[in-house]
Structure 1
């Protein structure tokens, strides 16, 4: 699943990702290159079935690509460092940004802020 998502622009089935319900404090990194992508304090439950964040670590951490596949108009998000597919961003998120970064767990590695434990999505 990880290769399919990150390298073939795939999508894991909703509500199946290992990091969907993770509530620990820490940082979500790119599974491929370990670049930091999202802080846990920006994660929220959007109800969409994938981990959702309202803001990346920095603008440079994410690359934005127009995606017209499957008859839809979306913005694909990729790792700004290694170009791995992460998911999509939508303009229906909470404040302060109003954005919802909908990310496949399979594209992420979580590092716990307290004990340094790593969990691959």
Structure 2
């Protein structure tokens, strides 16, 4: 099956009008939103999180956990083909930046202090994401990901 995102091209000028100032700063300038003051840090709904720029499916609520950091945190992406990791030396301590594969949006950072089964903590900016509820997956073109929630118990 062809990857619908592999030929994605972003138009920098339209991004300036399509995204909020914060979304643009985070995704295009590698900014960081404030902790505990962002849309999804405490979201408990079932669904997936996609790249705000391209729609690439990135993370799922079934892999989300409360890291206590004030940002949405996940122990794994839905599919590693949609994320890329880069070394980040912007601060005094080297970090690993997480970016979307095709839109090349800055998403956040990944750390090795997360829960099992991976031990990873993908600490992601809400401003880089759009949330799609589990019940809307088919209508929004993500029906193939509904299987992620087959064994989910109600929260």
- Pick the TM interval, shorter chain: over 0.9
TM-aligned CA deviation for residue 115 of structure 1: 4.2
Structure with the higher strand share, 1 or 2:
1
2:113 is paired with a residue whose SS is coil
Work out the CA distance in 2 between the residues paired with 1:35 and 1:113: 16
Q: Which runs of 5+ in 1 are unaligned?
A: none
TM-score by length of 1: 0.93
1:102 is paired with a residue whose SS is strand
The ranges of structure 1 where at least 4 consecutive aligned residues each deviate by more than 4 angstroms after the TM superposition are: 115-118
Structure with the higher helix share, 1 or 2:
2
Higher Rg of the two aligned structures: 2
For residues 35-74 of structure 1, the aligned pairs below 5 Å read: 35-74=56-95
Q: Does 1:112 align with 2:133?
A: yes
TM-aligned CA deviation for residue 114 of structure 1: 1.7
Quick one: higher RCO (CA 8 Å, sep 6+), 1 or 2? 1
2:69 is paired with a residue whose SS is coil
Q: Does 1:15 align with 2:36?
A: yes
Distance 1:115 1:62, change over 3 A: closer
Deviation readout 1:43-66 (Å, 9 max, x if unpaired): 010001100000001111111000
Q: Does 1:86 align with 2:107?
A: yes
Q: Which runs of 5+ in 2 are unaligned?
A: 1-21, 141-155
Work out the CA distance in 2 between the residues paired with 1:72 and 1:4: 22
Distance 1:70 1:28, change over 3 A: same
- The two structures, once aligned, show a CA RMSD in angstroms of 1.4
Q: Does 1:103 align with 2:124?
A: yes
Work out the CA distance in 2 between the residues paired with 1:2 and 1:9: 10
Q: Does 1:29 align with 2:37?
A: no
TM-aligned CA deviation for residue 81 of structure 1: 1.6
Work out the CA distance in 2 between the residues paired with 1:85 and 1:57: 17
